[in-house]
Amino acid sequence: MRIAILSRNPNLYSTKRLKEAGESRGHTVDIIDTMHCYMDVTSSRPSVRYKGRALPRYDAVIPRIGASVTFYGTSVVRQFEMMGTFSINESVAISRSRDKLRSLQLLSRKGIGMPRTGFANHPDRIDDLIKNVGGAPVVIKLLEGTQGIGVVLAETQKAAESIIEAFMGLNASILVQEFIKEAGGSDIRCLVVGGKVIAAMKRQAAEGEFRSNLHRGGTAKIVRLSPAERKTAVDAAKTMGLNMCGVDLLRSNHGPVVMEVNSSPGLEGIENATNKDIAGMIIEFIETNAKPHKTKTKGTG
């Protein structure tokens, strides 16, 4: 097979591992900088051009699109879909998961566990917004934040009001969520591929930090999931329409709750924590499922 990895940095661990895994199984794997692609949107003959030439036909594409380039990146994925290329994650599903509010609304509609959440831009009553999610402490998130950036823990009512007012002054849309204290600064990253949890790790925040992101000093170890946690992760991936994703869960007193569904999860932490060949499993899924024009949207969504 001929496989394209859409990635802006060929030296990233996840990108290198996917390329190695594909080539070790006999495939041709090209790494293509998403932002250097440009598209020929021609009736009946759509193409993607790169460095002055039309790219060859690929059997499959693996989007590794950063949050800051979601709009253009999903446009490139959509162009590949129009050409009949199988994408492990479709453009519509990536866009859906990247919209924090929309993704939470979809999870809510499906009855999937999640923290109590409020959304606001300029609420008339900030105190009611905070009260409605259970009161302080609360977690306040910028709608456009990624990797723990723009996420603040407000431990008191006054602190929460001040932070929300500050964000409002920047005309920023925010999410206000209940703080799951019983999680103890940890979360669980589930790697879902093809409707199955293929690996899971528990991430523990560094001392004095409530965000468990590994690049913020958090640590990771393998974890055994409960049936409810496994089902929640699979249901969340299905709701987003993602074939491959990372689902971040918290263990709350009322069961597992979903914090985020990530369409381009990093592989380094979870491969190291679990000693599993995650990249190889992703390539194996592509081998089994990549068929021409096999997208739900047929490139029109």
Confidence of residue 300 (pLDDT cuts 50, 70, 90): very low
Looking at the domain that runs over 117-179, which CATH code has it been given? 3.30.1490.20
2-92, CATH topology level: Rossmann fold (3.40.50)
Tokens of 139: 């977690």
* 281 pLDDT above the threshold of 90: yes
Instruction: Find the helix packing angle between 100-109 and 227-240, rounded to 10°.
Output: 120
pTM given for the model: 0.87
Half-sphere CA count of 32, side-chain side, radius 13 A: 29
- β-partners of residue 139 are 153, 177
pLDDT at 293: 65
Of the candidate ranges 83-97, 101-115, 281-295, the one whose mean pLDDT is the lowest: 281-295
Per-domain residue ranges for the chain?
2-92, 117-179, 182-285
CATH homologous superfamily of 182-285:
ATP-grasp fold, B domain (3.30.470.20)
Is the predicted pLDDT of residue 298 greater than 60, yes or no?
A: no
Segment 136-189, tens digit of pLDDT:
899 998 876 555 567 888 989 999 999 888 888 888 788 899 998 888 888 999
Q: What percent of the chain has pLDDT over 90?
A: 65
State the average pLDDT over residues 70-98: 94
Cα 268 from Cα 11, distance rounded (Å): 12
Do 8 and 35 contact (CB within 8 A), yes or no?
yes
Mean local confidence (pLDDT), 216-238: 89
Q: Given pLDDT bands bounded at 50, 70 and 90, which one contains residue 299?
A: very low
Q: What is the pLDDT of residue 241?
A: 96
Angle between helix axes 278-289 and 13-24 (nearest 10 degrees) is 60
Sign of CA dihedral 43, 45, 51, 53: negative
